[in-house]
Amino acid sequence: MMQTGYEADLTVRITKIFTSTKKTKDYILFSAVSVHKTEHRVLSKIDYYTIKAPDTISPDPHEGEIWSIKGNASYEETPSFDGKYYIKKHHVNVVKAELILSKNPIGFKSFIADTPHFKGIGLSTAEKLWQEFGENIYQILENKDLAKLMTLKGLGKISAVALITGFEQFSYLKYSKFFTEHDIPVAIQKRIYKFNGVTDGSLVKKEDIEFDPDPTVLIKSNPYSLSTFGMDFKLNDRIAKVHFDITDCDTRRLVAAVVEVMRKHASKGHTVAHRSQLIKPLKEMLGSDDLASKALEGGYDKKAFIIYPKSGMYQFTSTYIMENTVVKRLLKLHELGEIYDEVEDAACISAFQSVPFNLEPQQREAVMTSISYAISCITGGAGTGKTTVLNTVLNAYEEIGYKIKAVALSGRAAMRMRQSIRRPCSTIAKFLREDAIEDVADNKFLLVIDESSMIDLPTIFKIATHIAPEVRILFVGDPNQLPPIGAGKILADIVKSRLIHNTELSIVKRQGASSGIPEYSKLINEGVIPPKLTTGAITFHDTGFEFVVDKCVELYHQAPENSRVVTPTNALVDKINAKCQLELNPNGKRIEYERDGQHYRDNLYQNDPVLFTQNNYDVGVQNGSLGKLISVEQDGSILGEVQMDDFEDEESEFVSLTESLLYTLKAGYAITLHKAQGSQFPRVIVALSGGSNLDRAWLYTAITRAEEEIHIVGPKEKLISAIKTQSNASKRQTYLQELLKI
């Protein structure tokens, strides 16, 4: 029986944040139980609450926290699992919400022991803290007073640091009223907190810029500073006009509009823009030609962007700094010129002799070029012998006495490289977390960047500023693959500049070349329709879009241990994964767990292949890491275990699943091509969709993910259309190639 119309005034403990709906634009959904207002003990075991709150509540709610909730509510009664009693399921639409920091010992103990931020701090420690410091504990934590905390007998430094780190999440409560009153969403608040950090109130200096740590000062002085933290212009404009009385012609508004337009342009992979590409959307956004022109003038005056005199191209100032910094590093290495004498010659001869067969002339050329120049590239398609050449190059460098560091963007690519070159190789993310390479003995250090086609401008900028200027760089990759997800097309621009020495390997050498995959992919890359769509180890299945999912699952079923489905869209991924689970793992045990008296279940089953969708460097996983769900047994806060396909050391081969990690996990029978890039699988099933994002670069990259066997599933006309469609990468507007010519 449904009851409606009652006004809720509750104190609740959050039991779960529903992340699938947390991404919506205007609200957050979470479940909770009602607790005592001061002692915070659970009041009822039959009342459960689903709470819908606006995304402007502050701070961002987390599981285990205590909140005061007011709003409009209703409930329904449903029989319990055993039918012996009724459970009340309440639904609350929040009008007002406030996080509560308890001012009594029972509530404080619950806050510390039950809130996930305070890792490793139990009830007994929480009780001792309250007995020693009372309500002053909050001020001690906010002040990050480590010395004061450690006056508590028995509290070690690790626990004290954990307390301070955990409390950082709550240190901005004093600003929450301002954020809520000005309709600033929690997602934006979090970015502001992360940027500002927690301080004692004095001016903060970051990158030689001083600013007030009180975020309200910044927002009041320029409400459009919110766009810096990811707020879109339309919402930012409404907040600025409603709460800060900003007029249409305010310079701050006009500059923010320019930044928004340039940001949207950059999101398509561009690093520069023509004036015409900016003026039209500015006019649509601001409503007049006059304001659009004034916006560009204001943006230039405020140094939001620069204009290249010769070309008239516009570029974000930050992008200008990155692109020009990278170019200066590349040119500095290039200007060293050719360095090849008796030492290098002897090293090359020794390296050639270490290869158990004769290298092709272009392979020998690639080795000698890589040794002769401080910066160079080795490029080529599938099966052309890049790995053989790279091994020979590294043997020669080691003969000369060079220290070598090899990196790749994805974990799986790093693992493949580690296996193929039989030397250490790490992900770029791990490399950048290590100490910068500053002191290079005798200038003998080589950085090898594999799968370089995946590297975007921000990544190469971070790499360039992480190494000493004299560190040699060797790019290895295939510039014809999909461009990076981020802005730029670094490898393609370097190759096209013809300034940096590049050896393109074009002769298929891989023993498995009889599969026909290298030749097939080469034709597609050239925009040529293969004479036979089915040939060698490539099978084309002419299938209507409505049957693509079924056919992919059928093919996967034939060799599940060696297969992976690659698709253009997440929607197609989800459909194939759901059907694969149903047909290939019907008896798999589902992830289910208990918490706070409630039962939860997830759509993952034991023995499912799985994919992580977010970075978590603490446990050694990246966005795109693959593995297998080998256990779904709950052990306290551990809900299962994943065995990783790609891991950097033995410690990270097995990952224990916490609830927060579980939210980042999905089935991995099928994955998007962007997640597969940098990886290869014995058998790849390529699913074509009806979308417009299929071009020859996409198809070429998908096919070259296969080591032994490829299946292409979809309508013949879609396959032919993709082959004929020029790569979207060629439409990217970048300036790195031009700068290398200057």
Tens-digit pLDDT profile for residues 102-134 = 777 777 877 787 666 777 788 888 889 999 998
State yes or no: cis peptide before 531, omega within 30 of 0.
Answer: no
Tell me how far apart the alpha carbons of residues 440 and 402 are, in angstroms, rounded to a whole number.
10
Per-residue pLDDT of 287-305, as tens digits, reads 999 999 999 999 999 999 9
Per-residue pLDDT of 609-637, as tens digits, reads 999 988 887 787 888 889 999 999 988 87
At 37, the pLDDT band (50, 70, 90 cuts) reads confident
Per-residue pLDDT of 391-431, as tens digits, reads 999 999 999 999 999 999 888 888 888 888 889 899 999 99
Judge whether 644 and 652 are in contact, CB under 8 Å: yes
Judge whether 500 and 493 are in contact, CB under 8 Å: no
- Asked if the model's pLDDT at residue 39 lies above 80, the reply is no
pTM of the model: 0.78
Per-residue pLDDT of 666-682, as tens digits, reads 999 999 999 998 888 99
The burial of 324, by beta-carbon neighbours within 10 Å (0-12 exposed, 13-18 middle, 19 or more buried), is given as: middle
Percent of the chain scoring above 90 in pLDDT = 56
- Asked if the model's pLDDT at residue 598 lies above 80, the reply is no
**CA distances (Å), origin 252, targets 141, 219, 277:** 37, 12, 21
Q: Does domain 518-724 have CATH number 1.10.10.10?
A: no
Specify the length of the chain in residues. Answer: 742
**CA distances (Å), origin 345, targets 4, 161, 445:** 86, 55, 18
Judge whether 94 and 71 are in contact, CB under 8 Å: yes
518-724 and 324-505 share a CATH fold: yes
Instruction: Write out the DSSP string of 406-436.
Output: EEESSHHHHHHHHHHHTS-EEEHHHHHHSPP
Tell me how far apart the alpha carbons of residues 293 and 260 are, in angstroms, rounded to a whole number.
15
At 645, the pLDDT band (50, 70, 90 cuts) reads confident
Q: Which of 654, 709, 657 is nearest to 515 (CA)?
A: 709
Q: Give the chain's mean pLDDT.
A: 87
Tell me how far apart the alpha carbons of residues 85 and 75 are, in angstroms, rounded to a whole number.
16
Kindly give the pairing relationship between strand 590-595 and strand 538-542: unpaired
Superfamily of 324-505 according to CATH: P-loop containing nucleotide triphosphate hydrolases (3.40.50.300)
- Asked if the model's pLDDT at residue 21 lies above 60, the reply is no
Tell me how far apart the alpha carbons of residues 457 and 464 are, in angstroms, rounded to a whole number.
10
Determine how many CB atoms are found less than 10 A away from the CB of residue 244.
Answer: 16
Which stretch of 364-378, 508-522, 579-593 has the lowest confidence by average pLDDT? 508-522
- Asked if the model's pLDDT at residue 199 lies above 60, the reply is no
Tell me how far apart the alpha carbons of residues 501 and 232 are, in angstroms, rounded to a whole number.
42
Torsion of CA 9, 10, 16, 18, to 10 degrees: 0
Q: List the domain boundaries for the chain.
A: 4-100, 106-169, 324-505, 518-724
Fold for 4-100, please state it.
Answer: OB fold (Dihydrolipoamide Acetyltransferase, E2P) (2.40.50)
**CA distances (Å), origin 121, targets 132, 165, 260, 437:** 16, 12, 44, 37
Reported as type and span, the H/E element at residue 361 is helix 361-372
Which pLDDT belongs to residue 327?
96
Which pLDDT belongs to residue 481?
92
| Level-2 CATH architecture, domain 106-169 | Orthogonal Bundle (1.10)
- The residues near 451 (Cβ < 8 Å, ≥ 6 apart) are 408, 409, 410, 413, 476, 477, 677, 678
Tell me how far apart the alpha carbons of residues 179 and 183 are, in angstroms, rounded to a whole number.
6
Tell me how far apart the alpha carbons of residues 452 and 396 are, in angstroms, rounded to a whole number.
22
Judge whether 477 and 453 are in contact, CB under 8 Å: yes
